[in-house]
Amino acid sequence: MSVDVHAEQEAKKLNDRSVKQAIFKGIKCRCPSCGEGKLFNEWLKVTPVCSNCGEELFHERAQDFPPYITISIVGHIVVTLLMIVEANFEWSMNTHLAVWIPLGFGLALAMMQPIKGGVVGMQWALRMFGFSGEPQSD
């Protein structure tokens, strides 16, 4: 009887990954497992293994999801600001180009890494792809 209870507790412990905490750790560009190790070893290249806890991170398959989220957020911010400015001021076309293009690029570059980190954290918490610990079949 105690063996069954112990097995259930171990199974529950293995399945207990907080999605919210893992996403926030990823947004901070930290390992979704321990929250200490660096998630990226280059700008958008995920570290294969966490240097702190040894969690394998090379399983991530973020692909096009982070750019999609980034474009959606940046688009909403820039278009909203553009409409506010357009309703209240009369800027020349050159001024619009000088403001909105650099703002869009800057926001996209600033958001891409934290958003990708959040996506990797979500994949880890939900045990997607190779994060389940089970061998994958191709």
Q: Which two tokens stand for residue 131?
A: 């994060």
* CA pair distance 119, 39, nearest whole angstrom: 12
User: How many residues can be counted in the chain?
Assistant: 138
Chain-centroid distance, C-alpha 60: 11
Q: Which two tokens stand for residue 101?
A: 């293009």
- The closest alpha carbon to 115, from 40, 13, 4, belongs to 40
Question: What's the pTM?
Answer: 0.83
Bigger pLDDT: 116 vs 3: 116
95-118 pLDDT per residue, tens: 999 999 999 999 999 999 999 999
4-20 pLDDT per residue, tens: 655 555 555 556 899 99
Terminus-to-terminus CA distance in the chain, angstroms? 39
What pLDDT sits at residue 130? Answer: 83
What pLDDT sits at residue 74? Answer: 98
